[in-house]
């Protein structure tokens, strides 16, 4: 009898250099190692394009570039051409093109037993249900962010007709999928009332590659010393997408108050808010705030080791609908966190269990800035080290790649048997 075949359908996968890609790279390998045949349906790299990674995983053109193929650790990967467009119309057309060709390529695959995919976008779940119905395959939908809630609260969605349609689509995808997973108890509490049968909803957290993300000594750090200079200053860092999910004003205000203190801020990455942040740094002469380009994944453990504390300031619109996967990588690297987010939000709910983070939950901006600056001015490096060790111990026990991947494998086995 042939081995069971799993289709992973994700908007991002290797060689794209984003957190969703890294997460599903590891899930794909775990399923393959568990004895399943795995094929991936995704896009061409368009979030963080890393030439060195693409060189290791070259893409082969098919049908004059309508789609591409590559191989990732013995796994076949189908890439539908996708680009970042500034034009809203071009983005919408690109989205329709991606979904249309993904549906065709998915149906073209011989024999599929199960489909697994993460959100966003919500529409990917609908495409999977069509493929699943026609292929008689089970469907697992993984809720990484809650849509359309996020779009509504961010103010990007105002049309009542579109909102009603998306809410209908959300419930349709949830209830027609064979299983739905989400990453946090708060997410579970928000979306479980939207199910006819809540038993199909499961909590499976995200995880971290503890072989890659691990504590490093200062002596083994491999970074450009012209940029990352040795000093006794407290080094406060954020590395990731510089977008709307983060609130950048507290950083700017705190840096202004701390201009004369031995504290350096590092913001590393790309995103739609990078230009705004850079302009604020320049306008306000924040010489101790360093806004730097995206760095390859293999350098991330070194960046984390260079820092004394990592910060995550969640935007009001996103704080209830997303959970930054970098939380796990920071903890795995034995670094503490400085987090601004409201009470009863996923990141606060998670981190409040452990003594590895300073959590600032006030909604008052002045109080928030006062708490940030007071903490950074008074905390010692020894105290920060102890906080980092607390987080490291928790990740090793419960959030390693091996431990969480096994939960996905068990769910797949349950559905297929």
User: Measured between alpha carbons, how far is 226 from 103 in angstroms, rounded to an integer?
Assistant: 49
What's the whole-number mean pLDDT along residues 261-284?
A: 95
- The answer on 267 and 307 residing in a single domain is yes
CB atoms within 10 A of CB 164: 11
> Distance (Å, rounded) from C-alpha 63 to C-alpha 251?
48
Backbone angles phi, psi at 397, to 5 degrees: -80, -40
Q: Is residue 110 part of a domain?
A: yes
Taking the C-alpha atoms of residue 251 and residue 249, their distance in angstroms, rounded to an integer, is 5
Instruction: Return d(Cα 250, Cα 407) in angstroms, integer.
Output: 38
Percent of the chain with pLDDT over 70: 99
User: Is residue 406 located within the same domain as residue 308?
Assistant: no
Residue 2's pLDDT band, with cuts at 50, 70 and 90, is low
Mean pLDDT to the nearest integer, 136-157: 84
| Residue 85 shares a structural domain with residue 15 | yes
177 and 297 share a domain?
no
Candidate from 54-58, 143-147, 176-180, 252-256 with smallest mean pLDDT:
143-147
How do residues 217-244 score in pLDDT, each as one tens digit? 988 999 988 889 889 999 999 999 999 8
d(Cα 312, Cα 294) in Å, to the nearest integer?
A: 17
Count Cβ atoms within 10 A of the Cβ of residue 299 and give its class: 0-12 exposed, 13-18 middle, 19 or more buried.
Answer: middle
Peptide bond into 229 cis (omega under 30): no
In a shared domain, residues 410 and 373? no
Is residue 153 pLDDT above 80, yes or no?
no
Regarding whether 281 and 163 lie in a shared domain, the answer is: no
Residue 2 half-sphere exposure toward CB, CA atoms < 13 A: 9
- The verdict on 382 and 407 lying in the same domain is no
Q: What percent of the chain has pLDDT over 90?
A: 73
> Is the per-residue pLDDT at 321 higher than 80?
no
Contact assessment for residue 201 and residue 191, using Cβ atoms and an 8 Å cutoff:
yes
Distances (CA, A) of 201 to 112, 152, 171, 185, 317: 22, 23, 12, 11, 24
End-to-end, the C-alpha distance of the chain in Å comes to 14
Least confident of 47-51, 152-156, 222-226, 343-347: 152-156
State the total domains in the chain.
2
- What's the rounded mean pLDDT across residues 315-339? 91
In a domain? residue 39: yes
Average pLDDT of the chain, as a whole number: 92
Looking at residue 51, its pLDDT comes to 86
| Bridge-based pairing state of the strands 309-313 and 67-72 | unpaired
Question: Which residue, among 74, 91, 79, has the nearest Cα to 29 in the 3D structure?
Answer: 74
38-93 pLDDT, tens digit per residue, is 999 999 998 878 888 899 999 999 998 899 999 999 999 999 998 877 787 888 89
For position 265, which CATH number holds? 3.40.50.2000
Tokens of 243: 């977008």
What is the pLDDT, as a whole number, of residue 1? 42
Confidence of residue 155 (pLDDT cuts 50, 70, 90): low
Domain that holds residue 267: 218-398
Average pLDDT of span 338-359? 95
In the numeric block, the tokens 């199960």 are attached to 114
Backbone angles phi, psi at 288, to 5 degrees: -100, 10
Return the structure tokens found at 73. Answer: 């650790």
pLDDT tens, position by position, 160-172:
888 899 899 999 9
pLDDT of 260 strictly over 70: yes
In contact, 40 and 106? CB cutoff 8 Å: no
Q: Residue 352's CB: how many other CB atoms inside 10 A?
A: 14
310 class by beta-carbon count within 10 Å (0-12 exposed, 13-18 middle, 19+ buried): buried
Alpha carbon distance 201, 211 (integer Å): 30
């Amino acid at each position: 009898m042939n081995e069971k075949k799993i289709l992973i359908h994700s908007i991002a996968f290797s060689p794209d250099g984003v957190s969703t890609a890294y997460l599903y790279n590891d899930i794909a390998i775990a399923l393959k190692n568990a004895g399943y045949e795995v094929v991936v349906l995704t896009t061409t790299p368009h979030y963080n394009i890393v030439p060195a990674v693409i060189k290791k995983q070259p893409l082969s053109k098919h049908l004059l570039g309508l789609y591409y193929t590559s191989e990732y650790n013995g796994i076949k990967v189908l890439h539908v051409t996708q680009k970042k467009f500034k034009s809203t119309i071009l983005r919408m057309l690109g989205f329709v093109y991606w979904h249309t060709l993904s549906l065709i390529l998915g149906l073209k695959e011989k024999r599929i037993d199960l489909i697994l995919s993460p959100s966003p976008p919500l529409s990917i779940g609908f495409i999977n249900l069509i493929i699943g119905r026609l292929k008689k395959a089970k469907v697992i939908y993984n809720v990484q962010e809650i849509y359309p809630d996020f779009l509504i609260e961010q103010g990007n969605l105002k049309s009542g007709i579109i909102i009603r349609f998306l809410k209908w689509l959300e419930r349709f995808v949830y209830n027609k999928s064979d299983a739905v997973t989400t990453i946090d108890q708060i997410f579970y509490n928000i979306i479980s009332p939207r199910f006819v049968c809540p038993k199909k909803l499961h909590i499976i957290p995200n995880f971290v590659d503890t072989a890659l993300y691990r504590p490093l000594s200062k002596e083994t750090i491999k970074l450009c010393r012209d940029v990352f200079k040795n000093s006794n200053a407290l080094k406060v860092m954020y590395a990731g997408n510089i977008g709307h999910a983060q609130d950048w004003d507290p950083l700017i205000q705190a840096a202004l108050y701390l201009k004369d203190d031995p504290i350096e801020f590092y913001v590393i990455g790309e995103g739609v808010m990078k230009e705004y942040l850079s302009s604020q740094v320049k306008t306000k002469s924040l010489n101790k705030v360093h806004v730097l380009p995206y760095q390859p994944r293999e350098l991330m453990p070194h960046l984390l080791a260079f820092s004394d504390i990592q910060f995550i300031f969640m935007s009001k619109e996103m704080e209830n609908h997303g959970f930054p996967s970098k939380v796990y990588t920071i903890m795995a690297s034995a670094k503490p966190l400085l987090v601004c987010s409201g009470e009863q939000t996923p990141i606060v709910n998670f981190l409040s269990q452990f003594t590895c983070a300073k959590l600032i939950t006030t909604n008052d901006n002045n109080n928030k800035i006062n708490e940030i600056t007071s903490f950074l001015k008074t905390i010692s490096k020894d105290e920060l080290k102890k906080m980092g060790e607390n987080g490291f111990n928790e990740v090793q026990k419960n959030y390693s790649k091996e431990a969480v991947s096994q939960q996905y494998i068990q769910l797949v086995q349950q559905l297929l048997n």
